[in-house]
Amino acid sequence: MPSSIARQSIEQLGGEASILARQRRDHEELDRLMRRYDADPHPPEERQQILKDIIQFTFAHAFAEETVLWPALRRLHPDGDALTSRVEQEHQEINVLVAAIERTDPAYPRHRELTSRAFDVIRQDIRDEEDLLLPRLQEALGNDRARLRSLGTAWETVRRTAPTHPHPSVPRRPPGNALAGLPLSLYDRARDTTSARRGAKVAIVLTAVLAAWLLRAAIRHRS
């Protein structure tokens, strides 16, 4: 099996656009943000903004893994099911922890405890992906650069439109997560770009429009 993708050159990973290089870049950015959050002192508002950036970054990245990358690994590698179950458990744990963080007042010590536990699981998830799952994906694709690039493009496309907050009750596997993805993404991105109250109203309108559109499409399909 190839070594950890953390120790390979960009050339060995299949170039800048390959899924392996894209994953490593995102992991490095996430690690940089977590270290910045941990490095005191920051004013409380700045710390909260860094945490928001980490949350948005983490969930879009993980959702695209769950809908594009891990199904591909299950199809391509005989151990794919066991390997992806392991990281899906980590993703679920991160969902539960971050949902609790979002409900907790940042002034309480519990907020710091939950954040520290969530960072530990995110770091473990990165290690498992870079050391175990992604080298196996690389092995299964036989270093086919075109396929590494096309998987990278598919993952990046989903990542850019994925939900940006935790959703612990949504399944971690397709088709459940893929079906829920669009309305959740509309809801989350409305929350990210407007005030919480206005965001909720915008999200309800967008979700209603989407539901009407899907219903109309279903009726047309049946007739």
Identity of the residue, 47 or 188, whose beta carbon is nearer to Fe ion in the bound complex: 188
x/- mask, Fe ion, residues 134-153, rule CB under 5 A, reads --------------------
Question: Is there binding between residue 66 and Fe ion (CB under 5 A)?
Answer: no
**Binding window for Fe ion (CB under 5 A); candidates: 7-15, 22-30, 35-43, 150-158:** 22-30
Identity of the residue, 137 or 186, whose beta carbon is nearer to Fe ion in the bound complex: 137
- Minimum separation from the CB atom of position 69 to Fe ion (A): 8
How many residues interact with Fe ion (rule CB under 5 A)?
4
**Binding window for Fe ion (CB under 5 A); candidates: 96-104, 117-125, 135-143, 180-188:** 117-125
Identity of the residue, 73 or 190, whose beta carbon is nearer to Fe ion in the bound complex: 73
Among positions 88, 125, 130, 188, the unique one binding Fe ion when judged by CB under 5 A: 125
In one letter, which amino acid is 59? F
Identity of the residue, 122 or 202, whose beta carbon is nearer to Fe ion in the bound complex: 122
Name the residues that contact Fe ion, by CB under 5 A: 23, 62, 125, 129
